[in-house]
Structure 1
Amino acid sequence: MLSTLRYYSDYLFAVIGYFYGRAFRSAMNTLTPIESRLRLSPLVYRVLGANPGPFTLRGTNTYLVGTGKSRVLIDTGEPNVQQYIDDLREALDGCEISCIICTHWHEDHVGGIKDVINKVIGKPVPVYKFKRTDAPEDSSKYHYVEDGYVIKTEGATLRLLSTPGHTMEHMAVYLEEENTIFSGDCILGEGTTIFEDLYIYMQSLHKLLEMKPSRIYPGHGPVVENPLEKIKEYISHRNQREQQILDVLHSSKTASSMQITNEIYKARVKLAALSNVNHHISKLLKENKIEKIGIDNYRLITAAE
């Protein structure tokens, strides 16, 4: 039974990946151009991961932070990307990397750790990350820390913030001197992100909104110069989708996840949309707004109940 479920799960993700890839190829020309290396502020230098793709957009944004000879690197891109290694060396311009911060476990953020350490730094340095609780990982690579941990380098104070949802151990990084946030994949420079748990993802969005950052440096896409507007846009988008699901259940009394998907996404790739709907259903179940009937049917919980 488990092997069958894994087969269909793998098949589903393969199909979703195919359609994302096809959409990406047609949409690539509409993405905002990202320079391979660019100083964004006196404290922040962005180095593009040189790994464009359907989930990475123009590539993973990695960041060098600080003003002295010693810099902090946020995220590392993917493995075996020599262009990124060359660009990172150029951006350092004789400076050193004292430590690495990884916002989450996805390969396009942690995959380049080995290459950066071996080819750029030349010696072991701490790699700070939050620990996964949902799955095992190679703990020998990381120096695990917790929410609120502070890393200092010349000119910069970085506070690590728990922002789960995109992944369960996802972090954002707050740069105190600028009142800016490195958002990882919690917020992107363009488009919306995917998530493992919508319920806690929404909590993370509200957490960042309450901080009122002046700027967001995202894991992919251009710098967000209107951060409060962007965060509110993300929250509004999810709330609108949730209301559509509630409206379907109100009119139909009961419906399966695929029936809901067919009603909302009339002209979209249904398998990709189904995953999104299931995340919303999971959130609504946790909030006791709907209840599950049988294997895959749902109905509204009324105030009288």
Structure 2
Amino acid sequence: MQFYREFDWAYGRCDQVSPLIQRVICNNPSPFTYVGTGTYIVGRAEAGARVAVIDPGPHDDAHFEALLNALDGRTVSHILITHTHLDHSPLSTRLSQACGNAPIWSAPLPARTDASAEGQDDSFTPDALLSDGDLIEGDGWTLEVMETPGHASNHLAFALKEENALFSGDHIMGWSTTIVAPPDGDMADYMDSLDKVMARGFDILWPTHGPAITEVAPFLQAYKDHRIERENQVLAQLEAGHSTIAEMVPVLYAAVDQRLWPAASLSVLSHLMKLTKDGRVIAAPAPELSARWTLA
């Protein structure tokens, strides 16, 4: 895949990246967040305008101050959360309090225990819940809610109608493929959500981590093809006699930073769980990390 990794950015700087979008990046780089969490401000860059903030990010004093500086003179009407991992939602309450108790909107908290590398924000409490097709409006902007489970069961994306753009959270990232980690992450859900985004024909995607994706259709097709290829690689590993995830990961992810192998193991598990649902693979004694897997 040809990834999007090069872009002009600096920590704490507010960049006008489109007529209706500004971005401020938090200094929380990691193998899972790339250069850090990109918080988006949606709306006009003028005093008095009503704007939305998407994914305030982690608890970070410098990022909090940078957001307040970027919002100077504007009213935050909505704080929107793509999902409740620790690099996306924790700063929302503090930001709300600093912005006149601006309401925080998200999907319901996950019902399943999260096992992802990012961790779950268990203290998160939204003021209002969102569901597929909901519309959120401000001064000159309209966001449509898209439910996109897969990376997380409560993952949302937000479509900016005026620019035919999608804030894709972690569902689609330009710098890397997305981690799908059971039990909260689900590969079958992820693939369905990917098809849902592909069908919309967006002109540009704004992930929470990394630069915008501008060649949307071919990138999404490559994203989907990668998942299908990985699924076929997992089946090939089973055909070769590798029956455990521990045997598969060093082969499938030989070129990947070994710090990511635990997350990769969960991704392989997600593929195997999907294949089990499809009736192509059998797990013994149950579909879990330590299971032994065979072709059905």
Unaligned runs of 5+ in 1: 1-29
**Cα distance in structure 2, aligned partners of 1:73 and 1:266:** 38
Residue 189 in structure 1 maps to residue 189 in structure 2: no
The structure carrying a bigger helix percent of its residues is 1
Question: How many residues in Structure 1 have an aligned counterpart in Structure 2?
Answer: 268
Q: Which residue of 1 aligns with 2:232?
A: 243
Q: 1:214 to 1:266 in 2, by over 3 A?
A: closer
- Give the aligned residue type for 2:292: N
User: Mapping of 1:1-305 within 5 angstroms?
Assistant: 32-35=7-10, 36-67=13-44, 69-79=49-59, 81-119=60-98, 121=99, 123-135=100-112, 137-138=122-123, 140-195=125-180, 196-252=185-241, 255-266=243-254, 269=258, 271-294=262-285, 296-301=291-296
TM-score relative to the length of structure 2: 0.83
CA RMSD of aligned residues (A): 2.2
**Alignment deviations for residues 129-155 of structure 1 (CA, whole Å, 9 cap, x no partner):** 000242495574431121111100011
Q: Which amino acid aligns with 1:175?
A: L
The 8 Å contact of residues 34 and 58 in structure 1, kept in 2 or not, is answered as no
Mapped to 1, the partners of 2:251 and 2:42 lie a distance apart of 47
Distance 1:211 1:89, change over 3 A: same
Q: Which stretch shifts more, 279-288 or 52-61?
A: 52-61
Determine helix, strand or coil for the equivalent of 1:260.
helix
Q: CA deviation at 1:78?
A: 1.1
Q: 1: CA distance between counterparts of 2:70 and 2:81?
A: 19
Question: Bigger relative contact order, structure 1 or 2, given CA contacts below 8 A and separation 6+?
Answer: 2
Q: Higher mean Cα deviation, 153-162 or 255-264? A: 255-264
Contact 2:206 2:212 in 1 (8 A): yes
Q: Which amino acid aligns with 1:76?
A: P
- The C-alpha deviation readout for 1:87-128, integer Å capped at 9, x for no partner, is 223322411111111110012111111221233x1x212111
Q: Which has the larger radius of gyration?
A: 1
DSSP-derived class of the 2:159 partner: strand
Identity of aligned residues (%): 32
Structure 2: segments with no counterpart, 5+ residues: 114-121
CA offsets 1:37-58 (integer angstroms, 9 cap, x no match): 2111111111112322232211
- In 2, the alpha carbon distance for the partners of 1:265 and 1:47 equals 32
Distance in 2 (alpha carbons) for counterparts of 1:266 and 1:109: 29
Is residue 34–residue 222 contact of structure 1 (8 Å, CA) maintained in 2?
no
Q: Contact between 2:28 and 2:37, CA under 8 Å: does it hold in 1?
A: yes
Deviation at 1:167, TM superposition (A): 0.6
